[in-house]
């Protein structure tokens, strides 16, 4: 049980809530992958790792902004975290750092 409501807001929706809401709208993660021409596990990965394009697809179906579902992945202005501000376990951090170094050269 979470005593602090701000903690619940910061954590966002859990995976099961997202999947349930998608099912209520008539979609599954696998059907989204087929519709959007992605690999069958792409949208499963979106639930645990920041992939802004996939997050947008899910959020659009659910009728909310991605920052409402995944607040820890977005800044206060609703833009995805980029570069060194990504959480440590996010696979995009190294990619963004490499791109920033390439652009600085």
What is residue 45's predicted lDDT score, i.e. its pLDDT? 94
Distance in angstroms (rounded) separating the CA atoms of residues 1 and 41: 31
Q: Which domains does the chain have, with CATH numbers?
A: 5-104 (1.10.260.40)
Measured CA distances, 27 to 2, 35, 67, 87, 103 (Å) = 30, 10, 21, 29, 39
pLDDT at residue 92 greater than cutoff 90: no
Highest-confidence range of 49-53, 60-64, 82-86, by mean pLDDT?
Answer: 60-64
């Amino acid at each position: 049980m979470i005593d602090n409501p701000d903690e619940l807001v910061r954590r966002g929706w859990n995976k099961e809530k997202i999947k349930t809401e998608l099912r209520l709208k008539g979609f599954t993660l696998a059907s989204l992958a087929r519709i959007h021409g992605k690999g069958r596990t792409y949208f499963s990965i979106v639930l645990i790792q920041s992939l802004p394009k996939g997050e947008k697809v899910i959020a659009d179906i659910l009728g909310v902004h991605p920052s409402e579902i995944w607040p820890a992945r977005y800044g206060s202005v609703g833009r995805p975290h980029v570069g060194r501000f990504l959480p440590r376990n996010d696979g995009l951090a190294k990619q963004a750092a490499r791109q920033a170094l390439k652009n600085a050269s």
